[in-house]
Structure 1
Amino acid sequence: MSVKTNDIQNTSVQSLASIDLEKIKQREICAAGEGWMAEVKKNQTLRIIDTEGNQAVDTLFISSADTAERYSATDTLAQNQKVFLEEGSALFSNKGRVIATITEDTCGRHDTLGGACACESNTVRYAHDTYPMHSCRNNFMHSIATHPVAQKHDLTMRHIGPNINFFMNVPITPEGGLAFDDGISAPGKYVDITAQMDMIVLISNCPQLNNPCNGYNPTPIELVIYE
């Protein structure tokens, strides 16, 4: 069951305690299962707050100066020499540069391998009748088709690639497979991503209902950009 609005507000206040409120440039709630997009300038920080806990946040980073440069899962894995991201992890682009860094993290582990759910993958993983269900790929495509930031930078479907799943728990099995387990986050947990270049952030607040990554109950997140 979702928590009450005033409980979300109280959680948000606690999660913002370390930020000088006068330095906040943008603060928004992204509804359960919806998409979000914004520009984050170099040295600004994006804080993603898991307001109710156990919510997966699929995220892409794209350079504002050159949209052909964007977050690369393979480069990030290779350079960090670890599968899961945490405080101190550098996020690398497909041109081998650091596009952002995780500068604060109260959750402790974020997935790089599970990717974004899609109508097609839902039918393979679950059942054919899940095809019409909303998905992260649909959120990405809708944002790219409609959001003013996407129009400003001429983004298209080719800018959608492998993403990070913040707060999502995808352990690796002894056989080398992936398991989608209950999240290890909790209400008010957050992650700070500091931009190392001007960048575009594209988020799908995952609508998945078929595995426990959202506790089978997608919930809102809060997004704060600050200096």
Structure 2
Amino acid sequence: MQHVRRSPEEIVANRARYEDHQRKGLKFAPKALPAPSPLPAPSVDPALVVHREILPGGWYWSTPIKTGETLRIAQEQGFSTVSLIAWNEADPSERLNLVDTVKMQWTTALSKGRVIFSDMGRVMFSVTEDSSGAHDCLMGGSTAASTLAKFGEGKRNSRDNFILLATKAGLDRRDIPAALALFAPVRVDADGKFAWKPELSHDGDYVHLRAEMDMIVGFSNCPHPLDPSPHYAPKPVVISRLAARPVASDDLCRTATAEAVRGFENNAFANL
């Protein structure tokens, strides 16, 4: 592995930038997050729809998305958990990082107003709408073993779906990050055990994820390992890619926390 040698001037500049971030963080008062997005889901202006995909139960799909566009993932036909992964389109070595997303925002609960980080400290997505907040950052999607144990032979799982998806994108299984499970009401109980909380889910739940960089995004529509249903019957999920729209200077996702502000500064710094 080749090591990059940095000049003394670059080291001093990076140190000054870090200390400036630290000062801002200590002075920053986080903003209160809003209530969940309304149900039933508001209709979408057809003029904004770049592409609309109905993802059948058990299957996978990937799409490129440009900075500023939004992915709307909606349970229009009934409950289903959708697992999501993502890579920077220009440099797939930068990928979704749920550990940093949780650690940097001091919470495992993703909801409207939060952001999702890459493994390089940059913001990949902003959660601009969300009716439930019932998403799992901790367990990831299903595997061949978990699916076989619960449902028997012949059922698809998210890990194998993502291997196929990554291969088609010119990547391999080592490039697959931990998956975010949307519409998976998982919480950690007082004993530190994962618990499925169905009361957090609602009919017709939806989430909007605004892209903060050009990406390749992958989805898998398979049951979550903790879903108590004994039947393998994930419903089709509607995924819409919506055109970019202007973002206000006081946009909540970009200003809610010091960590989010820093992440967006990292985005801007990388584009210089």
Would you say same fold, with TM above 0.5?
yes
The TM tier, using the shorter chain, reads 0.7 to 0.9
Gaps of 5+ in 2: 1-39, 244-272
Residue 130 of structure 1: how far off its partner (Å) = 3.6
Residue 69 of structure 1: how far off its partner (Å) = 0.3
Amino acid at match of 1:56: T
Amino acid at match of 1:201: V
- The residue aligned with 1:11 is none
Gaps of 5+ in 1: 1-13
Residue 118 of structure 1: how far off its partner (Å) = 0.5
SS of residue in 2 equivalent to 1:29 = strand
Given the alignment of the two structures, is residue 64 of structure 1 paired with residue 80 of structure 2, yes or no? no
The whole-number CA distance in structure 1 between the counterparts of 2:221 and 2:210 is 20
2:166–2:173 contact (8 Å) kept in structure 1 = yes
1:182–1:212 contact (8 Å) kept in structure 2 = no
TM-score (norm: length of structure 1) = 0.81
- The residue aligned with 1:187 is 203
Residue 68 of structure 1: how far off its partner (Å) = 0.3
Residue 205 of structure 1: how far off its partner (Å) = 0.7
Given the alignment of the two structures, is residue 45 of structure 1 paired with residue 45 of structure 2, yes or no? no
1:117–1:208 contact (8 Å) kept in structure 2 = yes
The whole-number CA distance in structure 2 between the counterparts of 1:217 and 1:20 is 30
Of structures 1 and 2, the one with the larger relative CO (CA 8 A, separation 6+) is 1
Residue 188 of structure 1: how far off its partner (Å) = 2.4
The whole-number CA distance in structure 2 between the counterparts of 1:78 and 1:168 is 20
Q: CA RMSD in A?
A: 2.4
- The residue aligned with 1:99 is 124
- Per-residue CA deviation, residues 66-98 of structure 1 (Å, 9 max, x unaligned), is 100011011100111111210011100000111
- The residue aligned with 2:137 is 112
TM-score (norm: length of structure 2) = 0.68
Match of 1:211 among 227, 248, 258: 227
> Which is worse superposed, 208-217 or 31-40?
208-217
2:76–2:237 contact (8 Å) kept in structure 1 = yes
- The residue aligned with 2:186 is 170
SS of residue in 1 equivalent to 2:189 = coil
- Per-residue CA deviation, residues 9-55 of structure 1 (Å, 9 max, x unaligned), is xxxxx7461x3211211111000111010011000000000123331
- The residue aligned with 1:144 is 166
Residue 161 of structure 1: how far off its partner (Å) = 1.7
- The residue aligned with 2:246 is none
1:208–1:216 contact (8 Å) kept in structure 2 = no
